Structure 1
């Protein structure tokens, strides 16, 4: 059970995704098989993922699925298993790319250049490849890029405002 403020945010995220899905996202994840009608829709999976990352700061798929099972099951009763959720989420990678691309075009600041990027050419090594990090564990992860997360969070906050 989630509180009313979070429930309203969940509904807003779902409605935004449904609007964008009807415009252009549905073409990025179209299925050409006899199993094209799923119990849990692609919009619902994207909503669960984005809500869990935005509101609960859950970044691994396993934690997102566990949170959805514990707190969002009344909203998404046909959630299913972790393996199925993870597989469907991976199939939506192109839809997420198009969604973020459309957000960045819509909310790009005026002083920002869309054709230029900035890369950190000097990463800081916090531990050797064989060891686990002991310093800044929440920031030093092989699969996590804080710049990408903050950029996506900026656009998503603008969308929800």
Structure 2
């Protein structure tokens, strides 16, 4: 699978996961009801970075900013991205189970170590 199809698959899978969440189990962190950069994009960038074998969040962010900016034109500052990602940390165990149950990405077993 080429990287564009992989990125799209990660995004669609992430959106599918978010659509299945109970509204009581997860609150959007943006005070804006229609933010330009969504939580789904934050998670997509992180997962795509892990799949691309980047070692830390800063390298994932730099890669996204330098090479994927057309795909994510409303990417916030690094601090803004990190804030959003950190606020989504309780979501990752449930997301890991979802991805592994749906057998979407075999290399995502790394999430069990986070």
Give the TM-score normalised by the residue count of structure 1. Answer: 0.58
Match of 1:94 in 2: 90
Look at both structures and tell me which one has the larger radius of gyration over its CA atoms.
1
Alignment partners' CA distance in 2, 1:14 and 1:34:
22
Alignment partners' CA distance in 1, 2:82 and 2:99:
24
The one of 2, 11, 28 aligned to 2:8: 11
1:66/1:30 CA distance change after superposition, 3 Å: same
Number of aligned residues = 109
Which structure has greater helix proportion? Answer: 2
Alignment partners' CA distance in 2, 1:95 and 1:5:
27
1:30/1:42 CA distance change after superposition, 3 Å: same
Deviating beyond 6 angstroms after TM superposition, the runs of 4 or more aligned structure 1 residues are none
8 A contact 2:42–2:85 mirrored in 1: yes
5+ residue gaps, structure 1? 109-149, 156-161
5+ residue gaps, structure 2? none
Structural RMSD (CA)? 2.9
